[in-house]
Amino acid sequence: MNLTKKHPKVKLGHGVTPLESLPNMSKLFPFYQLFIKRDDCTGLGMGGNKTRKLEYLMAEALSHNADVVITCGGVQSNHARQTAAAAAKLGLECHLILEPVAGTPKAYYQESGNVLLDHLFGAHIINISADEDSQAKMEHLAESLISQGRKPYIVPMGGSNIVGSLGYVACGLELAEQFKSQSLSIDTIVLATGSAGTQAGLLVGLALADLNINVIGICVSRSGNEQEELVFNLVQQILGYIDKPELISRDQVVANGSYYGEGYGILNTQTVDAINVMASKEGILLDPVYTGKAMSGLIDLATKNLLSGEKILFLHTGGSPGLFAYQTQL
């Protein structure tokens, strides 16, 4: 399926990201062989999954003749960082609405990691309080800019609307080609799931490629039931957009809410252990908010022999700049 025929995209990333084996991690689990899809290597502003989404979102912004983009997220938002990088690459002004995250470190958190990169990419940062509505703030800022003769484009939190999710529909199709070229039959894919666009898009892409692979989202911010509803609602929107309404059923959407701990962005021992083992065994950096928690879930499920099949793929969605903001806890 040619997604760009229905909706254009602008090239921001490196293209096809590596699909590699994890031989040292695999030795830890007698029942499984582990692989990794390196979407931390997308190339834009230190990489990450949001680059794929932004290729479609920024194309839409340009089609609307936007000269400024606005988005929001937590203080250490990977999405905000990659949006700022995309805006810099395309010569657009960028405004970031950043909200505090309870339970996060005091030292380094407000100025290191992604925040430092936001500044380097030239973004205008607006910090709001926990009781303020980030969506309302974005809309108010857009109205103010319009009154000044500007043409703002609002990128949704996480880039997770229909347009942004097309990036992971494309990723699912990309994976199908990689599986074919490597003669690889993956049984289960594990990934971090938050704003829902990555998991929703991936499910649609795999279904379009006629691949029957279990996809398990490890929740980073809410219960499994809540996350499944969020993902499935977006899946249905995407399927309606591409005129394939019956392609995916509700029972294909699986999210596990057992590993996010006390809440979004709050580091726990299991996540620290997962970050350490991936770094020391494979030389791969995870992050404290998304991929570290997802890997902690994969490790626990694999240790308990609860994953379907033998060949397991971890989708690395990036986030390593956030490590520097959590250095006192790591």
Same domain flag for 188 and 297? yes
pLDDT at 273: 98
Cα angle 110, 193, 160 (rounded to 5 degrees) comes to 80
pTM to 2 decimal places: 0.97
Last-in-domain residue among 101, 133, 159:
159
Across the range 250-279, mean pLDDT stands at: 97
| pLDDT at residue 311 tops 80 | yes
| pLDDT at residue 61 tops 80 | yes
Residue 77 is among the residues annotated as catalytic for this protein:
yes
Contact, 221 vs 102, CB < 8 A? no
Contact, 98 vs 113, CB < 8 A? no
Tell me how many domains the chain contains. Answer: 2
Locate 240 and state its tokens. Answer: 């309606």
Last-in-domain residue among 117, 140, 159:
159
pLDDT at 80: 98
Q: Which candidate in 77, 112, 221, 296 is catalytic?
A: 77
Which tens digit of pLDDT belongs to each residue from 16-54?
999 999 999 999 999 999 999 999 999 999 999 999 999
Same domain flag for 191 and 282? yes
pLDDT at 271: 98
Scanning the structure block, which residue is given the tokens 């279904």? 207
Which tens digit of pLDDT belongs to each residue from 157-216?
999 999 999 999 999 999 999 999 999 999 999 999 999 999 999 999 999 999 999 999
Residue range of the domain that includes 98: 50-159
Same domain flag for 41 and 175? yes
Same domain flag for 231 and 89? no
Same domain flag for 139 and 20? no
Which tens digit of pLDDT belongs to each residue from 138-168?
999 999 999 999 999 999 999 999 999 999 9
Last-in-domain residue among 143, 159, 175:
159
Residues paired with 71 in a beta bridge? 96
Locate 200 and state its tokens. Answer: 């929703």
Same domain flag for 193 and 291? yes
User: Residue 281's domain is classified under what CATH number?
Assistant: 3.40.50.1100
Same domain flag for 121 and 182? no
pLDDT at 3: 72
Same domain flag for 60 and 199? no
Same domain flag for 236 and 313? yes
pLDDT averaged over every residue in the chain:
97
Across the range 274-281, mean pLDDT stands at: 98
**For helices 224-241 and 162-181, angle between their N-to-C axes, nearest 10 degrees:** 90
Residues paired with 314 in a beta bridge? 36, 190
Same domain flag for 237 and 122? no
Same domain flag for 168 and 315? yes
| pLDDT at residue 4 tops 70 | no
